[in-house]
Amino acid sequence: MKNLFERTGTANSTSGTSSSSNSPKFNCISSNSSDHKSSSSSSTKASSLLSGIVVSAFSIFEPREKKGVGTKSKISTSCSGSNGWAAAVKRVMASGSMRRIRESMFGFNKSSAVTSTSDIWLLGVCYKLNDAIGGDPVSSSGFAAFVEDFSSRILMTYRKGFDAIEDSKYTSDVNWGCMLRSSQMLVAQALLVHQFGRSWRKSVNKVRSSGLMLKLFLCIIIGDKQIDQGYIEILHDFGDSEESAFSIHKILEAGKGYGLAAGSWIGPYATCRAWETLARTGKALPMAVYIVSGDEDGERGGAPVVCVEDVSGCCREHSGGGADWTAILLLVPLVLGLDKLNPRYVPLLGATFTFPQSLGILGGKPGVSTYIVGVQDENAFYLDPHDVQQVTNITKTDLEADTSSFHSNVIRHIPLESIDPSLAIGFYCRDKDDFDDFCSRASKLANESNGAPLFTVTHSRNSPKTASQHDMGVSENRVDDSYDMLHSNDGQEDDWQLL
């Protein structure tokens, strides 16, 4: 089984190795949203019992092994082998069967390369690892809650075997669809939060497990939760067919005016515009979509500005004039450098994950898109769409559907400073109060950016702009980067997946 944590890049992952100017510090700003207030504490409490019983137990009894190159070895000071009973328990807990149960439940093993006990921010929720035993983050009470949260996020990957896209011969999106898949994951997260709130977690016993005893154990510890009908409906809407509202077929159709086509290389800006068009024409999204752009007609160029009047008008349009405000998905396409990410933006990007409205980032290694969902120190955690899977279309009524291919408990991470400068940030605001809270946080972040904010907030287009194009570090001549590098061998994983 793969390690829970996989890393791409060469930067040292040990906390405190980066310089203070480039090492991001993520501080939480108190939220005014009741849903966001309760999500972090409730999810942590829900997993604390399981963490205490299983994670800590394994950390105490399992023999400590030397870490890989570049990491520190841990020496256990607990459970001396001189005690016969303790030694027997230790052998049982360290046995292959118990390790397999642990890996099935949490997706990790003790050869994990992560040694930092710094806070983890995952889509607006903070997980504290400061109670780790012997400095091992896996043993902390917050780690199991983090893993449960991460593995509950919906994963979209390359698929093969679906119906051909329109008049093309493409029945797979391998090697060209990773940006589309990343955007599907971001929108799926918005739908989960919209329907269930940020504290929602998938039903563990409904995802394929390795055996009956493990499933029974999980039911005893966690409870036999029934799978959510709404969750199944969300997965159905992302099926790979013309009938599914948010399929790759529908996104490409909506994005024709921005150059989207099957087999083409697609960047974050065009993808965001495709979702905006899909929201306006398809009427399937239960929320408005607003693209944070830099000028009055919504084309590229200039510093991105969240215009409150425009957002209000977008909500009214979505409701057909029946409401002044609706739930809204904010997409912020950015170009934060030329060939590489300008390091001054690294702390700002990391700080967006502390927003309760955070939906993460569309971006990744240059030329290859992923869905970035969290940060710890200088590292970014992501879901990778580059695994190739057979098409799976779930019907709305199939509550016994195998949903395992839509989730991952393998947590990969890369240095945040190494991501492509062409990216898009997503935020979800449930109502006007939530939007006002977002604007307050965004304005504070802009004020702390030393003159180079990611984006700014203004009430109307006639208001003085607080950031210039030069301040944003955006090049007028920079075309929208495309993602996915074509390979000669169809179906072969690209270099982003070879970790």
Q: What is the C-alpha separation between 349 and 453, in angstroms, rounded? A: 10
Residues forming a β-bridge with 125: 122
Active site residue 387: no
Q: Could you say which of 384, 434, 437, 484 is catalytic?
A: 384
Residues forming a β-bridge with 334: 423
Count of H-run helices and E-run strands, the chain: 14, 14
Q: What is the C-alpha separation between 72 and 66, in angstroms, rounded? A: 8
Q: What is the C-alpha separation between 491 and 158, in angstroms, rounded? A: 9
Q: What is the C-alpha separation between 148 and 42, in angstroms, rounded? A: 13
CA 154 vs CA 35, 188, 278: distances in Å: 20, 7, 20
Q: What is the C-alpha separation between 138 and 125, in angstroms, rounded? A: 18
CA angle 204, 393, 389 (to 5 degrees): 75
Active site residue 459: no
Letter string b/e over residues 139-150, b meaning 16 or more CB atoms within 10 A of that residue's CB: bbbbbbbbbbbb
- 178-196 helix and 268-282 helix, angle to the nearest 10 degrees: 50
Q: Could you say which of 178, 272, 315, 429 is catalytic?
A: 178
DSSP state of 234: H
Q: How many Cα atoms occupy the beta-carbon half-sphere of 11 within 13 Å? A: 20
Active site residue 470: no
Q: What is the C-alpha separation between 105 and 214, in angstroms, rounded? A: 8
Q: What is the C-alpha separation between 132 and 15, in angstroms, rounded? A: 15
Q: What is the C-alpha separation between 290 and 151, in angstroms, rounded? A: 28
Q: Could you say which of 386, 429, 481, 484 is catalytic?
A: 386
Q: Which residues contact 271 (CB under 8 A, 6 or more apart)?
A: 179, 180, 183, 251, 255, 260, 362, 424
Active site residue ranges = 178, 384, 386
